[in-house]
Amino acid sequence: MQNHAAVPALATAFVAALLMLVLATPVLSATPVQRRRKPVAPKKQVPTWPTYEARRQDFLQRVRSANGAGLTSPDPLTQFLVSEVIVTGIFETENGFGAFLHALPNGRTFESRPGSELYNGRLTNIIVGPNGFMDEGSVVFLERPSLAAPEREVSKRIERAPEKPAAETPTQPTGR
């Protein structure tokens, strides 16, 4: 009978331990717990090319320096990015093929040949279209898209140059 007397004492101790365990457990709230996030390192900023205006000023300075030293001026294409020119035509000479490149920043068109340098690349190849059609050809450039990026090939097909805005016609006085 001694065993039976110990059962209520054991049950009481068990209930007390269970009650302490329940009271020690934190109550879950209905609001979500905000977790701390690891700090995110800021993205590395990719160095970009100077603006067209800055490249233009640098080009003009190089022209002045070359003229002052009695040297040949730099090619005007060297002030433009590959992304700033469109191919408007392909032509053939006795020395091979050339391409007309239209510079979008200033609206001028330049002749170029394989090896022509641009600010961030160079013209590497001129491909004539099937059956020798030049209007279906393309021009291949080797371009560095940014200062930190490796060179890549960019192929551009012939396209029409954008229309120049129509100049306003000055009104003539009627003489009345």
What whole-number distance in Å separates Cα of residue 74 and Cα of residue 118?
Answer: 11
More confidently predicted of 172 and 13: 13
More confidently predicted of 85 and 38: 85
Specify whether the CB–CB gap between 48 and 121 falls below 8 A: no
Whether 176 has a pLDDT exceeding 50, the answer reads no
Domain boundary assignment for the chain? 80-157
Mean pLDDT lowest among 7-11, 59-63, 85-89? 7-11
Stretch 58-64: mean pLDDT: 97
Residue ranges of alpha helices (H) inside 88-154 are: none
Stretch 39-68: mean pLDDT: 87
Strands (E), the chain: 85-93, 96-103, 109-112, 117-118, 121-127, 138-143, 152-157
- Across the strands, what pairs with 122? 117, 142
Whether 7 has a pLDDT exceeding 70, the answer reads no
Structure tokens that stand for 105 in this block: 């920043």
**What is the identity of the amino acid at 92?**
E
pLDDT in tens, 63-95: 999 999 999 999 999 999 999 999 999 999 999
pLDDT at residue 136, as a whole number? 86
Handedness of CA 146, 57, 111, 103 (dihedral sign): positive
Stretch 39-66: mean pLDDT: 87
pLDDT in tens, 103-148: 999 999 999 999 999 999 999 999 998 877 778 899 999 999 888 8
pLDDT at residue 22, as a whole number? 56
Stretch 50-59: mean pLDDT: 96
Stretch 28-35: mean pLDDT: 60
What CATH architecture is 80-157? Roll (2.30)
Q: What is the pLDDT confidence band of residue 101, given thresholds at 50, 70 and 90?
A: very high
Q: Strand, coil or helix: what is 7?
A: helix
